[in-house]
Amino acid sequence: MSNLITRTLGLIAVVGLLNPGAHIGNSQTPQARIKLDVDRTIGEVDRRLFGNFAEHLGRMIYGGVYEEGSPLSDKDGYRKDVMEAVRKLNVSILRWPGGNFASGYNWKDGIGPKDQRPVRAELAWNALESNRFGTDEFLRYCELIQAEPYICVNLGLGTIDDARHWVEYCNESRHTYWADQRRKNGREEPYKVTYWALGNEIDGPWQLGHKSADEYARFALEAAKAMRAVDRGVKLVASGSSNYGADWVGWNRTVLNTLRNTIDFIAIHTYISNRENDLERFLAWSQTIENYIDVTAGLIKQAQTGPNPRPIYIAYDEWNVWYRAFERERLEEVYNFEDALATGMIFNCFFRHANVVKMANLAQMVNVIAPIMTNKEGLFLQPTFFPIVEYGKQRGNTALDVWVSAPSYNIANRPPLRYLDVSATYNPRDRVIYLNVLNRSKDKDVSTRIENQEGEIGNHVAVWEMNHADLKATHAFGDDKKVRPVEREVMPSVKNNEFVYTFPAHSLTILRLGLK
């Protein structure tokens, strides 16, 4: 996790004029068109896009997923109420232990009898680490929530031996020293951890063990060699740049050129903000995110020139809204309705790049810039929780290349941005198209003709919608019901395989279109 909030675009919004309200097949001349074609595909919506992140930071671990002695916890210390909420998120892959924390973490402190584990000064977030939640506790938790584990090794202050020994502890089936330490700690069978990150944000001056691109790439190359010598089946994620105020393109180019025959992913991170308190400017962050994706995808293609190129994808393994709460507030961001809209916007970006973005991890899962907040008595769900759950139902679908025409507004010196931010996916087994539409306008409805090119639209359309009159509406303990999605079924007037739907101002809508 970066200590910097990246801010690279100045955005200018144009204010609309109409009142919110959805209409099916109204008489208003459509202002927008969306054309769907199940033959125009981008790629599979990878299940790993619905990952999450658990860093030793604030109350993410202790008091979040893990609270020994609490009446809400099981015998092993895992919070049962949190686990139930996390299971609803259906987290596909969980990244741990950091973040900045990883660059100063010695994993060997977190194994063995808990009462014998050392307490360490934690330098990334100026805290004390008890080490009572370590490798075995994390991997057991992943099994309980049925998430793939994703471990970030310490390539900041750590050594190559630390990295390879960690793989040995987790994955070795033979009787080696570290495999037998695992057995001594109660786990006979290997955990078989597939995904490993080669450090975190090593390009950032805020990072313990910060390195130049060349220093990092060479070090990561040797660490990868040693880790694969232990287990040839591991998938490795290089630390891409998160320091967008520096030469982030040069960093990614160096890392990809050095590691192109070794890595499976390159990681990029983005935290977005609404410091200017301008909804339309805030929801225009998609242009920045897509620029990061497009440039990095181009660098991957450049690195893959030559014989037998290794497939490399993007892992967007830290993303979220984050700008209000910092270290003194333990990063306990209170999310509102407009942040839920931004969550849909980011998933739309990932879906539109489903051919290259194959992993994403919301940062983070509980308490720390998270959709779930706890106290000693219970928890509440933030407004951002609900889009995560709903978009997650599209994992495994095929992302579609959607044609969109809609009113637009200006973003500084960039091309105009459409008010409608659109993605779509197709489930061929059920013959269902999911149309995901964010109306970025603060107060302008957009009447839209939805046209389907292949297959006949049925007469019933399922609607999932998040909308609220108060953009700043939030949840709290005992009060987390007001910013929730509404679900309904409508029967549009379908003629010539098209119908009209009006997307309300400042709304996030998912239409489920069954094909006959």
CA angle, residues 244, 250, 253, in degrees to nearest 5: 120
Residue with token string 């609270």: 67
Distance (Å, whole) CA 250 – CA 244: 11
C-alpha separations of 378 from 82, 137, 262, 367, 381 in Å? 8, 22, 45, 12, 11
Within 123-258, strands assigned E span: 127-129, 148-152, 195-198, 235-239
Are the C-beta atoms of residues 299 and 253 closer than 8 Å to each other?
A: yes
Token readout for 64 is: 């979040």
Distance (Å, whole) CA 299 – CA 312: 10
Distance (Å, whole) CA 254 – CA 184: 42
- Comparing CA positions, the residue from 194, 150, 142 lying closest to residue 361 is 150
What size, in residues, is the chain? 516
Distance (Å, whole) CA 83 – CA 85: 5
Active site residues: 201, 318
Give the list of residues 6+ apart from residue 300 with CB closer than 8 angstroms, or none.
256, 266, 312, 313, 314, 356
Residue 431 phi/psi, 5-degree rounding, is 55, 55
